[in-house]
Amino acid sequence: MSQADPFYITTAIDYANGAPHIGHVYEKILADAIARYQRLAGREVFFLTGTDEHGEKIAKAAAKAGQTPQVFVDDLSLRAFKGLWDRLDIGYDDFVRTTEGRHKRFVQDILQRVYDAGDIYFDEYEGLYSVGAERYVTEKELVEGSDGVRRYPGDKDPPELRREANYFFRMEKYQAWLLEHIRQNPDFIQPAGYRNEVLEMLKEPIGPLSISRPKSRVPWGIELPWDADHVTYVWFDALLNYVSAPVSKGERPDVIGTAWHVIGKDILKPHAVFWPTMLKAAGLPAYRRLVVHSHILAEDGRKMGKSLGNAIDPEALVDQYPTDAIRYTLLREATLSADSPYGEGILVSRLNSDLANDLGNLLSRTISMIQKYRGGAIPAAQELTDREREIEAAALALPGQILTLVDELKINMAIEAAMNFVRDLNRYIAESAPWNLAKSEDTARRLDTVLYTAAEGLRVASVALEAVIPAKARDLRAQLGLGGQSYTLAAAWGLTPAGTRVQGGAILFPKPEPKAQEPTAATEAPAPAPKATKPPKETPMTQTEPAPAAPAATPTVPEQPLISIDDFARIDLRVAEVLAAEAVPKADKLLKLTVRLGEEERTVVSGIRTWFEPESLVGRKVILVANLKPAKLRGIESQGMILAAEDDQGNLDLVGLRLDLPSGTKVR
């Protein structure tokens, strides 16, 4: 790493006693996105992940599988974990395994240093031992299950009462220091709720930490350098990977002082209490920041589990959906401070709405228009209006906005900022109507400006989203003719050279084949929103908003079942006049319209915000399905549906009238 402005980030190393789950996937994607944002900001980054391969649980799992522990962890580490991270485009710089010689040597060096300082002693201990957590637990940490049995959270079995002689680390010696360090450094543990949780832990005595197991009982571990009859307790082994790996690459041990650790909330105590006191005893600085994330829930808000039949198989997910769609949807839906629902329904909704419609459709229509109207060459912008200046100002402000949100760990809000820029580009295209500008030589210069603004805006968006969808961001630029170009996340506009020939290519995000009929903008009936046990506070989820279907490459009239005149007569189509229009708060695509049907007024919620500013609709006559069953959208009862149509470039318009007919007139 460069010493000028180093950024060191780690994930927790995964315990190699079973296949990875969706929580592992989220953590790696989260850390990878943060690392990529920092690289885009121009920083030298070192990103570490890996596997934890010692301990009692692994020895038992290997025996059950009829394998030696080493063979067992070799398969899981390289195939199940590292193989999956590679498929998900996790850009780690090092993958550490605790069975590697470089790690073992460092662990023994640190153990000897702390032992020589008098902070490790031998004693006999009796207490409740959690095999799941691989540590002694207190009675206060146990919770009562539905069967009346008290267990450590996450364990299948109750703790065992054990009495054995072990080596202990004088952890309580550093309790006062740790308490003061957390108080003096508010960002040390984030989000703040977890910081407060650790402060509560430190109000009680933390006692010594058992750091060894008799080799006669647990032979699978790193031997203590001064006593070959004992192996290192798993946490005093595993946590040291955060220093052993960079040191093996030539870094100084104090590089740990720059580290951000990204972990799940279930291992908060070892990372927030054990680890900093271990570093202090070893004469090393505390890490820079502990980033704690919550759990991923099933779509219905329940906890995931194989026994419940609602667990997500990450390998199957990657087999079925684009890698960048998985990355985007997990990061967009999850918040750090609250458990977040996720599943295929949410993934497909986000994929169709944000990635296929908003981003992918913008790219395809822009390239199509440049090819159609300018022979495939991006034209130079001519005279600018206030609207182009507004887009340029937004583009220049976007990098700073995103990096601030990333530093505040509001990754989903950083993504939303980038997507809001994309949505504004879509509105700009709809407002500017380049297909109309192309009809006259008098508006040729205006058309040039619109096409350049769209292309350059897409380039800006690709950089803003590159940490989240790295492969597709590069693909987007390649389709614009900017393949091979890399950019930093810095304020810039006008970096797309005029005359660049667009290349085009495959649809950026193809929509998956629906497993069942899905709602579209025409139906304006969203899928039911998943219920989270703790809804995110930072930014709303919008996966339930209606979105227009992406246009087919060649417009066709799909075959539909024939209906009778009686069937058609059941649909009550009426002329309606828009009296008022306003954006629905916290909804990207919805407008709330007040319409008049003769003497009656109604409220209609319509997914047309991408194409129409609210004020432009007031006074307009539209066609309304007047006898549609009311439905609630974002808590607003919608009493009808407005008819709309879409061309082959994704431009949507409302079905209207040539004559100024009175509102309430029946359409037949």
What is the reported pLDDT for 648? 56
Please tell me the predicted confidence (pLDDT) of residue 658: 57
Instruction: State pLDDT tens for residues 422-436.
Output: 999 999 999 999 999
The CA-based diameter of the chain, rounded to the nearest angstrom, is: 95
- Give me the architecture of the 567-666 domain, per CATH: Beta Barrel (2.40)
Between the alpha carbon of residue 560 and those of residues 10, 90, 557, 660, the distances in Å are 54, 44, 9, 32
Q: Give pLDDT, residue 615.
A: 66
Residue reference for tokens 């990103």: 47
pLDDT in tens, 257-290: 999 999 999 999 999 999 999 999 999 999 999 9
CATH architecture of 355-501: Orthogonal Bundle (1.10)
Separation of alpha carbons 241 and 263, rounded Å: 14
Are residues 348 and 492 in contact, defined by beta-carbon separation less than 8 angstroms? no
73 conformational bin, left if phi > 0, alpha if psi -120 to 50, beta if neither? alpha
Q: What is the pLDDT, as a whole number, of residue 533? A: 38
User: Using the 8-state DSSP alphabet, how is residue 99 labeled?
Assistant: T
- What angle, rounded to 10 degrees, do the helices at 101-116 and 241-248 form? 120
Share of the chain above pLDDT 70, in %: 90
Predicted pLDDT of residue 556? 46
Domain pair 355-501 / 567-666, same fold:
no
- Architecture per CATH, domain 101-237, reads as Beta Complex (2.170)
Contact 107, 53 (CB under 8 A): no
Sorted by sequence, the CB contacts under 8 Å of residue 595 that are 6+ apart come out as 576, 577, 578, 579, 601, 602, 603, 604, 622, 624, 640, 663
Is the confidence at residue 162, as pLDDT, over 90?
no
Lowest mean pLDDT among 63-67, 111-115, 344-348, 599-603: 599-603
- Stated pTM of the model: 0.76
Q: Which of 202-206, 234-238, 309-313, 653-657 has the lowest mean pLDDT?
A: 653-657
Any long-range contacts for 67-76 (C-beta under 8 Å, 24+ apart)?
A: 69/220, 70/99, 72/16, 73/16, 73/97, 73/99, 76/16, 76/17, 76/18, 76/19, 76/51
For residue 145, how many other CB atoms are within 10 A of its CB?
Answer: 13
The Cα 647–Cα 630 span in angstroms is 28
524-574: per-residue pLDDT in tens? Answer: 333 333 333 333 333 332 333 333 333 334 444 445 667 766 667 678 898
Instruction: Write the pLDDT tens digit of every residue in 571-622.
Output: 889 888 888 788 887 777 888 898 888 878 889 999 888 778 776 687 788 9
Count how many residues are written for the chain. Answer: 668
Distance from C-alpha of 655 to C-alpha of 625, rounded to nearest angstrom: 12
Domain ranges of the chain: 101-237, 314-350, 355-501, 567-666
AA letter at 283: G
Strands (E), 421-571: none
